[in-house]
Amino acid sequence: MQLAGIAKSFLVACVLTAITLTYVAASKVNAACPCSFTPATLVEVVDSKRVWFVIDGEEVRVQLSGIYTPNLKSVTNNNDWCAEEGEKAIQAMDFMASSLRRAKTIALDIHGMDQSGDAMAIVYVDGINLGQELLYKYLAVEFEPTYLTWCG
């Protein structure tokens, strides 16, 4: 009798698992296996988009991928930069620095290198995507648009 009850419970658990896996498989999920992430140690936050980390004993500059953040100063001669953008960049930089300094674990999902030799990566702080947190705080946008002003 007990064996039948255990078998029934096991069957219910299997069915629920199958339903859950079917739902997850049908859903679009932007996730990666944390087992493939690269552990890193903070060295210095450079600005609102770049950070120096130690990875496997070597210092590597990393740019957050998948987001666009404000600049600390003008990077073009188009006069499209303003003090408001600089203030947002400082807020983003301060948030990144405080999050990374408090982190128990920092992990990187490295996607490649950019033209300047920076590693492009999604940065996880205690399992939380740092770029997503910048988006939630309105300190970043999801992509680099052809034209964006942080001013006014």
State whether residue 30 is helix, strand or coil: coil
pTM of the model as a whole = 0.72
> What's the one-letter identity of residue 53?
F
For residue 39, the model assigns a pLDDT of 94
> What's the one-letter identity of residue 103?
A
Which structure tokens are listed for 108? 């990187």
Contacts of 59 (CB under 8 A, 6+ apart): 43, 52, 53
Is residue 86 within 8 A of residue 74, CB to CB? The reply is: no
Residue-level pLDDT, tens digit, the chain, 152 residues: 555 555 455 454 444 454 544 444 444 444 555 568 999 999 999 998 999 999 999 999 999 998 988 888 766 666 666 888 889 999 999 999 999 999 999 999 999 998 889 999 999 999 999 999 999 999 998 876 666 667 76
Q: Pick left, alpha or beta for residue 127 (phi over 0 → left; psi -120 to 50 → alpha; otherwise beta).
A: left
